[in-house]
Structure 1
């Protein structure tokens, strides 16, 4: 009889193959062909057929643990058993867990089980499990989707999760302002993760039996996602934490989501390297318009960015522009042709036929405003484990506040720097 973990691994293999089919079609911007659709349906049928057996194997596994008067080992690779009642699962309270730690109480029930799953994920990712007054939120609670093996379209690189994984009242997921441009966020990573890169492969014409010596040295050694520690220190009113309303819970989660998303987006745009990832404005290989002095934006200079990418033979899967709100305002009042009413950014959403995202995470550089253009599908962000939240009720106690030290492990990598171009020297006023 196959064990629970073995069945989960087999189902994960089927799922990964199925998502590979979907990913290929999406990359090529087409529907599944007949062969792919048939294989997709066959894989789904196999997974559906496995579900009753997986459920049965899990019950057997849990019963064996109860008979042994034991609990699921944290290093077993299997998420600990959680409550099966949907309403109870949805009632995990982050604020409630913080209150328990504040009062020196040991986590119990659902909050304790979530902490166990967090510790298991950290071990699996090769990270040291933090000690002390820690509330751990596993990666399975950081997805904007139903917790099932069919709930992930593949765009987020989701791993196999159990159907009855606990959920927060609101999803805890980084609100990256660049996400709609097509970035890929990988979760539940383990160790270093190499990303595939490649050179062009050349075909030559040849006779039927002619010996061909022309060869291409294909390079599949792309950049590597490596876990980097990112930390936020947050002081929250003790009176606020003592509230039990859903609104307060959502506000705390939203604050963490926005902060986590901003740090990832900032690294994508302007990461300086060293402790942080290297961002587009600093990474070698990105096409630079190299405008000698600052000048007002013109349609010709914007088209130049597109030309630089095409000249580099870069991909065009998910093209878009990114700048800050100051330059956006200037583009909304600047005509394509001087003296005409053809405004470059008339609707505020598209520039030169491509989507425009504005965020003040794009820095002002000595009075200049960068404009970035490129294929954002070449950006990968990754996270290892979930969020570690250390509760410090003492440091700010005289101010009536609780200090939270939030730690995550993440990274950002650009697979093909030549798929991006920027101009760092646009001004919004005459020099």
Structure 2
């Protein structure tokens, strides 16, 4: 602690002590002597305080940059201490929130309306010590508010950016003009005429509400203890992540769902190419070439690919004549394995005769994500006090508002008609 702060606190203590002594009409000799000593100490501290401020000026200048960014780090630290268990017990027993959890809930309530308890998105991340299908994530990694969905989310691996919005609709202007350069024809010739610099607004609107329900029995509430924290987080994380992945790519745009990237390819203006042949690396390579010739990607390594497990099985089983190299090996030689996401949830099941599947390619151009996923506030956790009252259970409903839009259609390419079997 800075010396000036210590002195300032001591001055406050002296003033408080003096206020109690001067109020007495007939102070004793000891009290009179104490007032004199406190007065002398106060005067001496004033001189020390001014000297400390001068001496600490250089320290304050050095710490200026750190102080400007400290608030974000402090909030991230608070998020790490958020306890879902406290929210569950508050809903079930009316137990008051404490510590970081209470502070975060109060902060979120001040920025938006919630019927139940607001839960920040970051609190749904699976934390250290919890077993998940893909392993244990690194607990040291800090995720900012505008970053990614969940660590294993297909949407996140395909480059989608999660945008957190307090309230209202938000538009993101994206450059869509085709301004070109031109040379002057001769010494007195003019250069190319002015071209329009155009932008297109990609709007995210709070019109789509996603909800999940969970039932917690009385036995679970009494038996689990701290384990309830991990159980609730895992269930909410899994349910929301799976449905978000499906909606981002296959949302119908009707019945309350947002319009997904694949379902709404024509609406978003995404190029869709029918391969009309057996699935090979060559069919995917043609789409990568279109990315590169359109200046959307600088190399195959900048492209991300979303495929179904059935396509992987076929490519891995298809060997090039006279070699032990498969079509999958050729794919990995050009597109890094970390850029390939396999999902039976985000892509529709193979269909048709012969059986055909699809693949989606994306790339981030100029730092702009190909897909925007907007979320409004946090997760609104509401208790139903009636449905399970007879058994003493707790029923929770988690509500969140989400929307999806595409930044530049040129950053996405949908390939259809990838045949998984030879036609008759």
TM-score, normalised on structure 2?
0.65
Q: Distance in 2 between matches of 1:396 and 1:214?
A: 72
Q: Distance in 2 between matches of 1:405 and 1:290?
A: 42
Change (3 A) 1:319 1:291: closer
Change (3 A) 1:94 1:410: same
Indicate yes or no: 2:179 matched with 1:201: yes
Picking from 222, 243, 251, the partner of 1:263 is 243
Change (3 A) 1:242 1:226: farther
CA contact (8 A) 2:213 2:397 kept: yes
Q: Per-residue deviation at 1:239?
A: 2.4
Change (3 A) 1:378 1:172: closer
Change (3 A) 1:315 1:267: farther
Picking from 50, 65, 87, the partner of 1:47 is 65
Picking from 218, 225, 240, the partner of 2:204 is 225
Indicate yes or no: 2:223 matched with 1:234: no
Q: Per-residue deviation at 1:210?
A: 5.9
Matches within 5 A, 1:31-430: 46-48=64-66, 50=68, 92-103=82-93, 105=94, 107-110=96-99, 111-122=101-112, 129-131=113-115, 134-138=116-120, 141=123, 157=146, 175-198=152-175, 199-206=177-184, 212=191, 214-227=193-206, 228-274=208-254, 275-281=256-262, 282-284=264-266, 285-292=269-276, 295-316=277-298, 318-335=302-319, 337-346=320-329, 350=332, 352-354=334-336, 355-361=339-345, 362-367=347-352, 368-375=356-363, 377-396=369-388, 401-430=393-422
Deviations 1:320-376 (A, max 9, x none): 1111222222222122x34532112249x9374242110111121535321111215
Partner SS for 1:309: helix
TM-score, normalised on structure 1?
0.64
Deviations 1:105-135 (A, max 9, x none): 263434544332221232xxxxxx233xx22
Q: Distance in 2 between matches of 1:322 and 1:351?
A: 16
Q: Distance in 2 between matches of 1:177 and 1:135?
A: 28
Q: Distance in 2 between matches of 1:49 and 1:399?
A: 52
Deviations 1:211-247 (A, max 9, x none): 5561221212231122232212233344223345444
CA contact (8 A) 2:124 2:234 kept: no
Q: Which residue of 1 aligns with 2:39?
A: none
Report how many residues are paired.
328
Partner SS for 2:174: coil
Q: Which residue of 1 aligns with 2:48?
A: none
Partner SS for 1:277: coil
Partner SS for 1:390: strand
Which runs of 5 or more structure 2 residues have no equivalent in the other structure?
1-60, 128-140
Larger radius of gyration, structure 1 or 2? 2
Q: Distance in 1 between matches of 2:111 and 2:150?
A: 17
Which runs of 5 or more structure 1 residues have no equivalent in the other structure?
1-42, 55-80, 123-128, 146-150, 159-170
Q: Distance in 2 between matches of 1:242 and 1:175?
A: 32
Q: Distance in 2 between matches of 1:212 and 1:288?
A: 37
Q: Distance in 1 between matches of 2:218 and 2:416?
A: 44
CA contact (8 A) 1:172 1:256 kept: no
Q: Distance in 2 between matches of 1:270 and 1:301?
A: 22
Change (3 A) 1:173 1:389: farther
Q: Aligned-residue CA RMSD in angstroms? A: 3.8
